[in-house]
Amino acid sequence: MSDAAATAAATPLALVTRRFLRHRLALISAGVLVVLAAASLLAPVVEGWLGLDANAVDLFNRLAAPSAAHPLGTDEAGRDVLLRLLYGGRVSLFVGIAAALTAAVLGTTVGLLSGYFGGRLDALFMRLTDGVIALPLLPLLIVLAAIDLQKLGFSAEAAQAENMSLYRIVAIVALVGWTTVARLVRATALSLRERPFVLAARAQGASSCRIMTVHILPNLASPIIVATTLSVGNVILLESVLSFLGLGIQPPLPSWGNLLTNAQELIWDAPALAVYPGLAIFVTVIAFNFVGDGLQDALDPRSLERGKR
């Protein structure tokens, strides 16, 4: 092996990639997620290929068995189940990823400020974090999801917009889901602020903002990535629960949660209508958890040291 190849093989990114590729369950799960995401994004293409409309109601063809025209059959309104699943996947995956990223940004900001400055600011933020953690999550989400947006100052058009329920769920979940990232970031920032490279930057006159963004934040990437990946599955579950209760994504916009809601009254007559979205939720949540476990192992400094040896 040449010197250049040996150097490339010893880079942290190469070691992380090699470690992740050894985690077979994480690798398979990542492939499953890529397939699910690609299939959901290509829903309009599949719709055109089948020559169907995902929202077209055909009461003369309701609860039809799988066929060439409808690969997974039709639902109680005669709509194609496959297309509804694909479009529902777009919504559920968007909610999970968007809410997890938003919560990660909020949690990183709170944890970084708390860990770096300490003192009263740290005490204030951590008491706020403890207060949010102490709240009963599901009842709180139900209450927040049931609030009338018009009473909060939104216009009637905005409150009743088709995508408003989508953005509302993202905001609600992000508001209560940032605490895990905040605590992880704070704990790491507390140790990093006393490291020699941070003390040297401070001695050279670097501002607190530059120290946090340039010297501390890059070293927080590992816990943030792992926590965010693991939280995506939980967010999808929360969205599914709220949609199942009728407080999440509102029809006609499909999601895996409200597809389950529509199927509950037909569980004995057409059990497949509940099996398909339930299986999609199960596979997606498990896959995100395995990917999170694989990233945790790959980004573990002790794993990198073992990889170097």
According to the model, what pLDDT value does residue 301 have?
Answer: 55
DSSP state of 69: S
Assign 59 a pLDDT band (cuts: 50, 70, 90). confident
According to the model, what pLDDT value does residue 101 have?
Answer: 92
According to the model, what pLDDT value does residue 110 have?
Answer: 92
Say whether pLDDT at 306 is over 50: no
Say whether pLDDT at 6 is over 50: no
Q: How many CB atoms lie within 10 A of CB 304?
A: 16
Average pLDDT for 94-110? 91
Q: What percentage of the chain carries pLDDT values higher than 90?
A: 15
Q: What percentage of the chain carries pLDDT values higher than 70?
A: 93
Q: Do 34 and 53 meet the contact criterion of CB atoms below 8 Å apart?
A: no
Average pLDDT for 270-280? 88
Q: Do 83 and 54 meet the contact criterion of CB atoms below 8 Å apart?
A: yes
Assign 106 a pLDDT band (cuts: 50, 70, 90). very high
Q: Which residue has the higher pLDDT, 208 or 162?
A: 208
Q: What is the pTM of this model?
A: 0.83
Average pLDDT for 278-291? 90
Mark residue 73 as left, alpha or beta (left: phi above 0; alpha: psi -120 to 50; beta: remaining): left
pLDDT tens profile 219-246: 888 888 888 888 888 888 888 888 877 7
Nearest by Cα to 268 from 82, 77, 89, 76:
76
CA–CA distance from 50 to each of 46, 67, 71 (Å)? 6, 12, 9
Average pLDDT for 121-131? 90
Q: Do 219 and 188 meet the contact criterion of CB atoms below 8 Å apart?
A: yes
According to the model, what pLDDT value does residue 8 have?
Answer: 47
Average pLDDT for 182-202? 88
Nearest by Cα to 303 from 7, 17, 5:
17
Assign 300 a pLDDT band (cuts: 50, 70, 90). low
Strand partners, 80: 74
Structural domains of the chain sorted by starting position, each given as residue range(s) with its CATH number in brackets: 14-271+296-308 (1.10.3720.10)
Highest mean predicted confidence (pLDDT) among 2-11, 106-115, 298-307: 106-115
Average pLDDT for 62-76? 85
Say whether pLDDT at 38 is over 90: yes
CA-CA distance, 233 to 99, in Å (whole number)? 11
According to the model, what pLDDT value does residue 10 have?
Answer: 59
CA-CA distance, 138 to 242, in Å (whole number)? 9
pLDDT tens profile 86-96: 999 998 899 88
DSSP state of 213: I
CA-CA distance, 174 to 103, in Å (whole number)? 4
Highest mean predicted confidence (pLDDT) among 2-11, 27-36, 168-177, 228-237: 27-36
Neighbour-count burial of 178, counting CB atoms closer than 10 A to its CB (0-12 exposed, 13-18 middle, 19+ buried) = buried
According to the model, what pLDDT value does residue 35 have?
Answer: 93
According to the model, what pLDDT value does residue 305 have?
Answer: 47
Omega before 252 within 30 of 0, i.e. cis: yes
